Chain A
Amino acid sequence: MILTQYETVSQKIFQKSKHWSVIKFENCVLLFSGIFLYLYLLLLFSDLDKQTKKMNAPPTFESFLLFDGEKKITKEQDTKVPNAAVFTINKEDHTLGNMIRQQLLKDPNVLFAGYKNPHPLEHKVVLRIQTTSDYTPQDALMNAITDLISELSLFEERFKECLKERHGDD
Chain B
Amino acid sequence: MLRRPKPGEDDLEAMVEQFDKDKNMQMAAQVVKKRKPPDETEDKSKKPKSVFARRRQEQSGGLENESPETPAVQIPVLADIVERDIVTLPSLPSLSASQNGFPQVLKLDDITKNSSTTIGQDGDNRPSKRTLFSQQFQKMKQELSKDVSRINENMSSGSQQSSTQENKRMVENLNGSLGDKSFILDGTGLKSNQEAQELHNENINKLQIMSETEILEEQQKLIKSLDPKLIEFLTKRRSKQSADALKMDVDQQVDDCENLPQVSKNNKEIKTVKVEEHVDQSVPMVAAPESENKIELASVEKVVEELVDKYPNMNKDEPEKREWMADVPVKEPSVGSVEAGFSARFGFDGILLDHKEQPDVGSGLYHHGEEADRPGYTLLELFTLIRSSNSQQRVVALNTLSAILEKYWTGIYDSCFGVNLLSELIECGLVSLLRSCMDEKEESLIYSGTECLANLIAPQGEESGLDLIMVYSLESPALAPTIDAEVREQEIDLKDHELVQIDVIAGLLRMDILQRIKYILTVLKPGPGVVLASLRILTRIARHSAPVAQLILDSPGLVTAVVTHFLPALVPAQYPKTSLYGLPVHLACKLCRVIAGWNSKLAKRIVTEHRIERSLMVYLTIDPSEAAIPPRESILLCIESFRTWSLLLKYNVSLETYNDIYPVIMRLLLYFVNNINITESADKNMLDCDVGAWLLTVLTTVLGSGLPWNEVSGLYAPVDTCARKWLIQVSRMTSGITNSARSMIAASLAFISMFLTKIKGKDDSLVENWKKESGPGLKDALNTFMNSGMIKAPCKLFPLYMHFIFTNLTFLPEYGNQLIIDMQNKSVYLQPVFKEDRTVSALPLPGAVLKDGVVHPILHPSSPVYLATQLFRLISITASMGLTLWPADKLVAKLNPVFLKSLTYSKLSVISNWFSKFEARCLFWLLIACKDSTSFGTQLLALSIRVCGLIHSPDDILVRDLLELIVFNKSFLKSEDLLAQYMSRVGVHNVQPLSSASNIGTIETSLVKSIEKSLENIEDIKKMYLEKLLKDAHCRHSLAIHSCDNSGVQIMTFSCETVLSQDWQYFPLLETYSMEQNNKKTDNDCLPAVRTCLSWLLIANTSTEQSSKADVTAEYCRLATVFLAGNDFFLDPEIHVLLSTMLNEILSVGGQPDMSIKVPGISSCHDFYIQLLNQFQAVSYGDQLFAMFVCLPLAMTQPSQFRKSLWMERQEVVRAITLKNGHFQEKIVNAFLEPVETELELVVAYYQCLTLGYARKQVQSLLYSFAVHHIKHFIRLSTNDPERLKFIQYVKNSAKGDLKCDLEV
A interface residues with partner B (beta carbon < 8 Å): 79-82, 84, 102, 105, 111-112, 114-116, 118-119, 121-122, 126, 128, 130
Contact = CB atoms under 8 A, between A and B. Distances in A.
Given A81-B1131, A105-B1212, A105-B1215, A114 B1179 contact: yes
A79 B1182 CA distance: 16
B1128 interface: yes
30 contacts: A79-B999, A80-B999, A80-B1128, A81-B998, A81-B999, A81-B1131, A81-B1181, A84-B1181, A102-B1212, A105-B1212, A111-B1181, A112-B1180, A112-B1182, A112-B1216, A114-B1177, A114-B1180, A115-B1178, A116-B1127, A116-B1174, A116-B1178, A116-B1179, A118-B1079, A119-B1079, A121-B1079, A126-B1127, A126-B1178, A128-B1181, A130-B997, A130-B1181, A130-B1182
Residue of A81, A102, A122 contacting most chain B CB atoms (<10 Å)? A81
B184 to A, nearest CB: 65
Given A111-B1182, A114-B1177, A114-B1216, 14 more contacts: A80-B1131, A81-B998, A81-B1181, A82-B999, A105-B1215, A112-B997, A112-B1180, A112-B1182, A114-B1178, A114-B1179, A114-B1180, A119-B1079, A128-B1178, A128-B1181
A126 B1175 CA distance: 12
A81 to B, nearest CB: 5
Contacts of B1131: 80-81
Contacts of A84: 1181
A119 B1127 CA distance: 13
The 7 closest A-B pairs by CB, nearest first: A116-B1178, A80-B1131, A114-B1178, A80-B998, A119-B1079, A112-B1181, A112-B1182
Which interface residue of B1127, B1132, B1181, B1215 has the most chain A CB atoms within 10 A? B1181
Q: Give the size category of B's interface with A.
A: 10 to 19
A124 to B, nearest CB: 13
A114 B1178 CA distance: 4
A26 B74 CA distance: 80
A111 B1259 CA distance: 11
A116 B1173 CA distance: 12
Contacts of A114: 1177-1180, 1216
Given A112-B1216, A119-B1079, A81 B997 contact: yes
Interface of B: 997-999, 1079, 1127-1128, 1131-1132, 1174-1175, 1177-1182, 1212, 1215-1216
A111 to B, nearest CB: 7
Contacts of B1179: 114, 116, 128
Contacts of B999: 79-82
Among B1131, B1178, B1215, max chain A CB count under 10 A is at B1178
A118 B1215 CA distance: 23
Which one of B1127, B1132, B1175 has the greatest number of beta carbons of chain A within 10 Å? B1127
The residue in A80, A82, A116, A126 that gathers the most chain B C-beta atoms within 10 A of its C-beta is A80
A84 to B, nearest CB: 6
B180 to A, nearest CB: 77
Contacts of B1212: 102, 105
Contacts of B1215: 105
A52 B1174 CA distance: 35
Contacts of B1181: 81, 84, 111-112, 128, 130
Nearest to A130: B1181
A57 B1177 CA distance: 30
B389 to A, nearest CB: 53
A80 B1132 CA distance: 8
Nearest to A127: B1178
A116 B1175 CA distance: 8
A79 B1127 CA distance: 14
Contacts of A116: 1127, 1174-1175, 1178-1179
A119 to B, nearest CB: 5
A111 B997 CA distance: 11
B1001 to A, nearest CB: 9
Contacts of A115: 1178
Contacts of B1127: 116, 126
Nearest to B1081: A118
A67 B1033 CA distance: 45
A105 B1213 CA distance: 10
Nearest to B1078: A119
Nearest to B1000: A80
Contacts of B1177: 114
B768 to A, nearest CB: 61
B1055 to A, nearest CB: 34
Contacts of A79: 999
A105 B1178 CA distance: 13
A79 B1178 CA distance: 17
A90 B998 CA distance: 26
A107 to B, nearest CB: 12
A80 B1182 CA distance: 14
A91 B68 CA distance: 110
A81 B1178 CA distance: 15
A150 to B, nearest CB: 22
Contacts of A122: 1079
Contacts of B997: 81, 112, 130
Contacts of B1180: 112, 114
B1242 to A, nearest CB: 23
Contacts of A105: 1212, 1215
A34 B1212 CA distance: 57
B991 to A, nearest CB: 23
A33 B1128 CA distance: 64
B1253 to A, nearest CB: 10
A129 to B, nearest CB: 9
Contacts of A126: 1127, 1178
A119 B998 CA distance: 25
A79 B1128 CA distance: 11
Nearest to A105: B1212
Contacts of B1128: 80
B995 to A, nearest CB: 12
B322 to A, nearest CB: 71
Contacts of B1216: 112, 114
A81 B998 CA distance: 4
Nearest to B998: A80
A114 B1215 CA distance: 12
Contacts of B1174: 116
A137 to B, nearest CB: 11
A148 to B, nearest CB: 17
A84 B1127 CA distance: 14
Nearest to A129: B1181
Contacts of A81: 997-999, 1131, 1181
A105 B1128 CA distance: 22
Nearest to A119: B1079
A105 B1215 CA distance: 9
A80 B998 CA distance: 5
A115 B1181 CA distance: 11
Contacts of A119: 1079
A116 to B, nearest CB: 4
A152 B997 CA distance: 33
A126 B1126 CA distance: 14
A96 to B, nearest CB: 15
B1305 to A, nearest CB: 28
A130 B1131 CA distance: 14
B2 to A, nearest CB: 54
A157 B1181 CA distance: 36
Contacts of B1175: 116
B877 to A, nearest CB: 52
Contacts of A102: 1212
A111 B1216 CA distance: 8
Nearest to A120: B1079
Contacts of A118: 1079
A111 B1212 CA distance: 12
B1181 to A, nearest CB: 5
B62 to A, nearest CB: 85
